[in-house]
Amino acid sequence: MSDTEDDKAKAGASRARQAAEPDTGGIAADRLRSIVERIERLEEERKALADDIKDIYAEAKSAGFDVKVVRQIIRLRKQEPAEVEEQETLLDLYRRALGM
């Protein structure tokens, strides 16, 4: 094949690729689509989990528990014991300073 024929073949192959793929400005469209779809799935899962958590808080409330206190307990359980103890010590100190 001559250089001219080779150039024509390469140009034809390039046009065929461009026709098969939309102009994406150098972005890997398949990779981007995959990432976006994965994020969308996780967002849906997060919403479902949030709805489940909301239902459990409603259950706690209907069972007579103070939801505000339950939330505080959950927040405390996420912390390190030393951090909780330090906060409780400061809270007690501040209460005594205010005569509470």
What pLDDT does residue 11 have?
A: 62
Which residues touch 79 (CB under 8 Å, ≥6 apart)?
Answer: 87
Tokens at 92, concatenated? 């007690």
In-domain check, residue 97? yes
Range of the domain at 96: 66-100
Q: What is the pLDDT of residues 87-100, one digit of tens each?
A: 999 999 999 999 99
pLDDT at 25: 76
Confidence at residue 2, expressed as pLDDT on a 0 to 100 scale: 60
Q: Are 20 and 12 in contact (CB under 8 A)?
A: no
Residue 89 belongs to a domain: yes
Q: Domain total for the chain? A: 1
Contact in structure between 27 and 36 (CB atoms under 8 Å): no
Residue 90, domain member (yes or no): yes
Report the C-alpha dihedral over residues 10, 11, 13, 18, rounded to 10 degrees: 140
